Amino acid sequence: MRPFGLPRLITSAYAGRMYARRRHAYFAMMGTCIALFVLAWGVVRLWSIPVAVGMCVVAMVIPPVAAMVANRRGPDDRWWDDPSGDSKSDEWWDELDGKRRPRQ
């Protein structure tokens, strides 16, 4: 849903940057996870198995954190104050938030 009153061109460009940033962070974290697993059992286990196991434990924590990072909303994401389409509900929430909408 695009924010109230903004043209589609502006919102789609913003959404593209926002999603690209999240995607880059997600893929960087998942790449790190795969690299840790491969290095742990391909290289590090030859010198120290406990270190290799520790690397795998760290790698196991990364995917849930990457999912949270990829799905979180940024500080500029204004999803909570988009109009819902129900004018009575929007008026009620605006009153609670202390906002006043211009009358049509």
Give the model's pLDDT for residue 97: 72
pLDDT digits (tens, 9 = 90+) for 51-96: 999 999 999 999 999 999 888 876 656 566 666 777 887 787 777 7
> pTM, whole model, 2 decimals?
0.58
Q: What gap in Å lies between CA 83 and CA 89, rounded to an integer? A: 9
Please tell me the distance from the alpha carbon of residue 81 to that of residue 98, in angstroms, as a whole number.
12
Cα-Cα-Cα-Cα dihedral sign, residues 95, 98, 103, 104: negative
H helix or E strand, kind and range, residue 19: helix 8-42
Which are the contacts of 8, defined by CB distance < 8 A and separation ≥ 6?
A: 2
pLDDT tens by residue, 11-49? 455 556 667 888 899 999 999 999 999 999 999 999 999
- pLDDT on residue 103: 61
